[in-house]
Amino acid sequence: MAAKFLSRGPLDPQDAKWTKLVLSTYKDPNGVERTWESAERQTRPDNCEIDGVGIVTILNKESGPELLLQKQYRPPIDKVVIEVPAGLIDPNETVEQCAVRELKEETGYVGVAEQTSSVMYNDPGFCNTNLNMVHVRVDMSLPENQNPKPELEENEFIECFSVPLATLFEEMKKLEQQGYAIDARVGTIAEGIELARRFKL
Amino acid sequence: MAAKFLSRGPLDPQDAKWTKLVLSTYKDPNGVERTWESAERQTRPDNCEIDGVGIVTILNKESGPELLLQKQYRPPIDKVVIEVPAGLIDPNETVEQCAVRELKEETGYVGVAEQTSSVMYNDPGFCNTNLNMVHVRVDMSLPENQNPKPELEENEFIECFSVPLATLFEEMKKLEQQGYAIDARVGTIAEGIELARRFKL
């Protein structure tokens, strides 16, 4: 059964538990005082500069490397979105610990964090949300990765799949035509692969 | 002179002109009614499903292809961000028209839109903001592209530069170490290029 959108309305900040709007005041490079509206999560732990992680996991299939992806219904856009596994950081957790934990919870795979990207800001003219992309290596020969079982929370509905890196760009186009939404982090990885191929990097 | 952050405080929705918070109500796949908080821009034109565009422009230098980028101070995170040229759609404008217009305004380059990506959602668990990545070809041999002059608005402070595609990933790491923030659309293009190279796609 699919999720079903019912309604959307204004949210009073008094009632907001997860999100907030803020107004920043700054002097521009000419010394003129200006303001800027933006949105933030309320969930970032104290003394932490990061909201969450995205997880890049490559499954080495016989036919070639595949990127681990998931389909998840996202109420803010009322669409099922094609995303990398991801999650918010718990207090006192490193981004690498978060990535390994979330990968296990959302996909069932047990992996090892092997590379962490720059901090990336999702839409820094609009909000402060950010993440580290963590590359997690999954050894498909291990017994625990033979038949991975996600451990989803009761409000999580996630379907895992994987797409060959070599055809990621075309597959995203096809999935969009089928009605799925494409997360920008996945879509721009696909763009990068296409650029590398076009310019033979 | 650099921009200077002064203060940040809560924004009353009554005073918000650019942003808003909304509450979505939906039934999950088990039929349980749930709510979800998210943020939206107020600027998306009526009858338009897209907020804006990101612009992928490759400059063909003698030393190899370079990605056109910019440095822009972003008050929501109080950092100068490394981004692709980008902008919000005007009413009755196509994404391709928007990309060509914004490229000219922000960088001075005159180009031709040649490819448009899937619609990409920047952070669909948190907000509905989205964009099309439009690939704009710039012919560097044209007289108008010999000495490009941006046409910035009085509240825009943007510095253009370009980075070899072949070293984009390493350059982003260096720029982060220098104190710049990395936009996720740029950072994940760099990740895609690295994946293509590592797996010899």
Q: What single string gives the DSSP state of each residue in B9-43?
A: EE--GGG-SSEEEEEEEEE-TTS-EEEEEEEEES-
Residues of B with Cβ-Cβ distance to A118 under 8 angstroms: 172-173, 176, 182, 187
Q: Which of A50, A123, A174 to mutate to test the interface with B (most CBs of B within 10 A)?
A: A123
| DSSP helix/strand/coil, A130 | strand
Produce one character per residue of B54-82: b if its CB has 16 or more CB atoms within 10 Å, e if not: bbbbbbeeeeebbbbbbbbbbbbbbbbbb
Which of B29, B189, B201 minimises the CB distance to A166?
B201
Asked whether the beta carbons of residue A23 and residue B39 sit closer than 8 angstroms, the reply is no
Residue of B nearest to A2 (CA): B29
pLDDT of residue B108: 97
Taking all residues of chain A, what is their mean pLDDT, rounded to a whole number?
Answer: 96
Produce one character per residue of A139-148: b if its CB has 16 or more CB atoms within 10 Å, e if not: eeeeeebeee
Asked whether the beta carbons of residue A121 and residue B184 sit closer than 8 angstroms, the reply is yes
Asked whether the beta carbons of residue A76 and residue B128 sit closer than 8 angstroms, the reply is yes
pLDDT of residue A154: 87
Q: Where are the domains of chain B?
A: 49-198
Distance from CA of A193 to the nearest CA of B (A): 5
At residue A78's C-alpha, the angle toward residues B120 and B94, to 5°, is: 40
User: What CATH superfamily classification does A18-198 receive?
Assistant: Nucleoside Triphosphate Pyrophosphohydrolase (3.90.79.10)
Asked whether the beta carbons of residue B188 and residue A193 sit closer than 8 angstroms, the reply is no
Decide: A188 and A67 in contact? Cβ < 8 Å: no
Asked whether the beta carbons of residue B4 and residue A27 sit closer than 8 angstroms, the reply is yes
Distance from CA of A30 to the nearest CA of B (A): 7
Phi, psi of B14 (to 5 degrees): -65, -30
Residue-level pLDDT, tens digit, chain B, 201 residues: 799 999 999 999 999 999 999 999 999 999 999 999 999 999 999 989 999 999 999 999 999 999 999 999 999 999 999 999 999 999 999 999 999 999 999 999 999 999 999 999 999 999 999 999 999 999 999 999 999 999 998 888 999 999 999 999 999 999 999 999 999 999 999 999 999 999 999
Which of A56, A155, A188 minimises the CB distance to B189?
A188
pLDDT of residue A195: 97
CB pairs under 8 A between A and B: 326
Which of B23, B26, B130 minimises the CB distance to A4?
B26
pLDDT digits (tens, 9 = 90+) for A12-56: 999 999 999 999 999 999 999 999 999 999 999 998 999 999 999
Residues of A with Cβ-Cβ distance to B158 under 8 angstroms: none
First-last CA distance in chain A:
44
pLDDT of residue A58: 97
pLDDT of residue A5: 98
Residues of A with Cβ-Cβ distance to B34 under 8 angstroms: 75, 155
The fraction of chain A above a pLDDT of 90, given in percent, is: 97
Complex-level ipTM: 0.96
Q: Which CATH number applies to B49-198?
A: 3.90.79.10
Asked whether the beta carbons of residue A188 and residue B184 sit closer than 8 angstroms, the reply is yes
Above 90 in pLDDT, residue A155?
no
Distance from CA of A48 to the nearest CA of B (A): 14
Distance from CA of B199 to the nearest CA of A (A): 7
Asked whether the beta carbons of residue B27 and residue A4 sit closer than 8 angstroms, the reply is yes
Residue of B nearest to A184 (CA): B120
pLDDT digits (tens, 9 = 90+) for B81-110: 999 999 999 999 999 999 999 999 999 999
Give the integer Cα–Cα distance in Å for A122 and A133: 12
Q: How far is CA A111 from CA A55, A78, A93, A163, B122, in A?
A: 11, 31, 17, 19, 26
Residues of B with Cβ-Cβ distance to A60 under 8 angstroms: none
Q: How far is CA A96 from CA A22, A54, A82, A90, A186, in A?
A: 29, 10, 22, 12, 19
Query: With bands split at pLDDT 50, 70 and 90, how would you rate the model's confidence at A78?
Result: very high
- What does chain A come to in residues? 201
